[in-house]
């Protein structure tokens, strides 16, 4: 937690998020700007306090970017999302089980879950000439060519 106690970390989170302790009940976010968090054996739901965050571009609306701008960079001081060994990514419908396991076994101290990005968000970010954060998309099946075609 970047040297913070659990209580200090939650206080810093409270500046940007409304936090609900869910205890042992996993929370799966169903809306943009809602996150799940697993910390110290408990699940939490985090709801963005929108008055504290400035949405200027399509990238700013993206949950992966929001997590980076409000928690990972300012609180945990994770600058390099590709190479920092303090961060790992999981995907799929069993993500919270993997996150819980990684925190419970001491590999990590905290884990977050979010709603996946959608095609409209990807298109809008590309149309604005912006780049999505690392690991913010997960598309199956994986195409060997790296080209995805979307018919609209």
On whether residue 134 sits in a domain, the answer given is: no
pLDDT of 140 > 70? The answer is no
Nearest to 39 by CA among 76, 67, 9: 9
Cα–Cα distance measured from residue 92 to residue 58, given in angstroms and rounded to the nearest whole number: 24
On whether residue 54 sits in a domain, the answer given is: yes
**End-to-end alpha carbon distance in the chain:** 43
On whether residue 133 sits in a domain, the answer given is: no
Cα–Cα distance measured from residue 49 to residue 70, given in angstroms and rounded to the nearest whole number: 11
Q: Write down the pTM of the prediction.
A: 0.87
For range 2-20, the mean pLDDT? 97
User: 68-91, pLDDT tens digit by residue?
Assistant: 999 999 999 999 998 999 999 887
Find the domain containing 81 and state its range: 6-127
Cα–Cα distance measured from residue 68 to residue 3, given in angstroms and rounded to the nearest whole number: 18
On whether residue 140 sits in a domain, the answer given is: no
For range 6-17, the mean pLDDT? 97
For range 91-118, the mean pLDDT? 89
What CA–CA distances, in Å, run from 135 to 8, 12, 81, 116, 139? 28, 25, 9, 11, 11
Confidence (pLDDT) at 91: 79
Domain count, the chain: 1
On whether residue 148 sits in a domain, the answer given is: no
On whether residue 136 sits in a domain, the answer given is: no
On whether residue 66 sits in a domain, the answer given is: yes
């Amino acid at each position: 937690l970047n040297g913070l106690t659990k209580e200090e970390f939650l206080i810093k989170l409270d500046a940007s998020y409304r936090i609900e302790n869910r205890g042992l009940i996993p929370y799966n976010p169903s809306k943009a700007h809602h996150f799940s968090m697993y910390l110290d054996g408990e699940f939490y739901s985090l709801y963005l306090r929108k008055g504290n965050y400035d949405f200027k571009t399509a990238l700013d609306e993206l949950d992966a970017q929001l997590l980076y701008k409000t928690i990972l960079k300012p609180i945990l001081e994770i600058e390099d999302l590709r190479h920092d060994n303090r961060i790992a990514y999981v995907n799929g419908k069993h993500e919270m089980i993997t996150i819980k396991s990684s925190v419970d076994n001491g590999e990590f101290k905290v884990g977050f879950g979010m709603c996946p990005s959608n095609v409209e968000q990807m298109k809008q970010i590309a149309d604005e000439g912006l780049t999505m954060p690392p690991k913010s998309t997960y598309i199956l099946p994986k195409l060997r060519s790296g080209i995805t075609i979307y018919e609209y």
